[in-house]
Amino acid sequence: MEYCGMDLHQDKTNVCILDEEGDVMERSTVRTTRKALSKYFKARERMRVVMEAGGSSPWVSRLVEKCDHEVIVCSPRRVRLIAESTLKTDDVDAEVLARLVRIDPGFLGSVTHRSEETQRLRSKLTVRTSLVETRTKWINAVRGILRGEGYRVAGGAAKSFPQRVAKLALPDELREVVKPLLTQLDLVNAEIDRREKDLEAVAKELPVVAHLRRIPGVGLIVALYYVLSIEDPERFRKSRDVAAYFGLRPTMRSSGNISHFGRITKEGDQEMRRLLVQAAHGLLRTRARSDLKNWAVKLAERRGKGKAVVALARKLAVLMHRLWVTGEVFQPYPGKAAA
């Protein structure tokens, strides 16, 4: 077995190959294109290839696997030897990866990339998120301009913001100033509606999405993003492992008889973590009562609302996986339902 370390960059990739004894057999620089990488790896015997997770690692790892190589994608957090090295070059980084995978692949903590189809479906959610963020930015800009002139726009849904502005008795000069943004808001609202209808169609092909939406606070976007983020629920041995996967596990330092728990790790998918927190806020705001909500309300009274919301987001991540795996239906009061 030969061992290959890849240091991926947007334009080029540095490659270092070791033999069984750990001697450097080859150092190469390959263009980071499908054609160049396919040509390079198809010409070699089967190797164990390792690369750090990044923007290009999903498609590169799939390409190298199709060339009949064993591929390991590791988290950059696990390779502090590279990040904190006093001698850091692309060639050195590639060699360090090759030596680590030769010694013990388990040390690197393999990252599982999603399938190409799932990645494309997640891209639809990314487009919708970008449109919503743009709409929010434009709404805030209009609010700021009008506030500076002494006008206040009433609160309400983002979709109806242009209509609420139209009802204000604004001077013609001021109305002309904000008109370009209001025109664009009408266009982006229409596009967001189209994207959401498309996502509803995607959700219909995934029955588990409707199953998870039974939980108060969990809507279409949260449930769909959750399903596409995990893809295969069976790869988690325990449901509580999902919370750690999304960075909702508290950090821990233990030595002897002393254990200290700190803030959450914030590892993994930042957008999924944000959506889970958003769902937790939604659950607390809903009128529907449940054991889950009562638990969060009591925790907020003791520890503050901020910590309670994060703890509730963690519970939602675990609960959603449990319902997905077992097929059980959400019960507001599990004890009463069992009785």
**How would DSSP label each residue in 14-83?**
EEEEE-TTS-EEEEEEEESSHHHHHHHHHTS--EEEEEE-SSSHHHHHHHHHHTT-EEEEE-GGG-HHHH
The C-alpha atoms of residue 104 and residue 207 are separated, in whole angstroms, by 40
Is residue 269 a contact partner of residue 244, using CB atoms and an 8 Å limit? no
* Lowest mean per-residue pLDDT among 36-40, 104-108, 144-148, 312-316: 104-108
Closest CA to 264 of 313, 316, 318: 313
Tokens for 307, please give them: 């910590």
* Lowest mean per-residue pLDDT among 78-82, 149-153, 247-251: 78-82
Sheet arrangement for strand 70-74: 24-31, 12-18, 2-8, 47-52, 70-74
The C-alpha atoms of residue 66 and residue 165 are separated, in whole angstroms, by 55
Identify the three-state secondary structure at position 266: coil
Name the residue with higher pLDDT: 109 or 148: 148
Is residue 3 a contact partner of residue 23, using CB atoms and an 8 Å limit? no
**Banded pLDDT at 216 (limits 50, 70, 90):** very high
- Please give the pLDDT value at position 83: 62
Question: Looking at residues 65-88, what average pLDDT do you find?
Answer: 81
Residue 338 predicted with pLDDT over 80: no
- Over the chain, what is the mean pLDDT? 92
**Banded pLDDT at 104 (limits 50, 70, 90):** confident
Q: What is the chain's length?
A: 339
The C-alpha atoms of residue 196 and residue 219 are separated, in whole angstroms, by 12
The C-alpha atoms of residue 119 and residue 116 are separated, in whole angstroms, by 5
Is residue 191 a contact partner of residue 131, using CB atoms and an 8 Å limit? yes
- Please give the pLDDT value at position 337: 62
**Banded pLDDT at 265 (limits 50, 70, 90):** confident
Residue ranges of domains in the chain: 2-108, 118-205, 210-338
- Please give the pLDDT value at position 82: 66
Q: Please name the fold of domain 2-108.
A: Nucleotidyltransferase; domain 5 (3.30.420)
The C-alpha atoms of residue 300 and residue 285 are separated, in whole angstroms, by 13
Residue 93 predicted with pLDDT over 70: yes
**What stretches of the chain adopt beta strand conformation (E)?**
2-8, 12-18, 24-31, 47-52, 70-74, 250-255, 258-264
The C-alpha atoms of residue 174 and residue 38 are separated, in whole angstroms, by 58
Is residue 291 a contact partner of residue 299, using CB atoms and an 8 Å limit? no
Phi-psi region of 222 (alpha: psi -120 to 50; beta: other; left: phi over 0): alpha
Q: Could you tell me the CA-to-CA distances from 216 to 143, 283, 306 in Å, in that order?
A: 31, 5, 19
State pLDDT tens for residues 284-319: 999 889 999 999 999 999 999 999 999 999 999 999
Q: Which of 75-79, 87-91, 152-156: highest mean pLDDT?
A: 152-156
pTM above 0.95, yes or no: no
State pLDDT tens for residues 121-133: 999 999 999 999 9
Closest CA to 228 of 202, 250, 253: 202
Tokens for 290, please give them: 């449940």
- Please give the pLDDT value at position 81: 63
Question: Looking at residues 152-169, what average pLDDT do you find?
Answer: 94
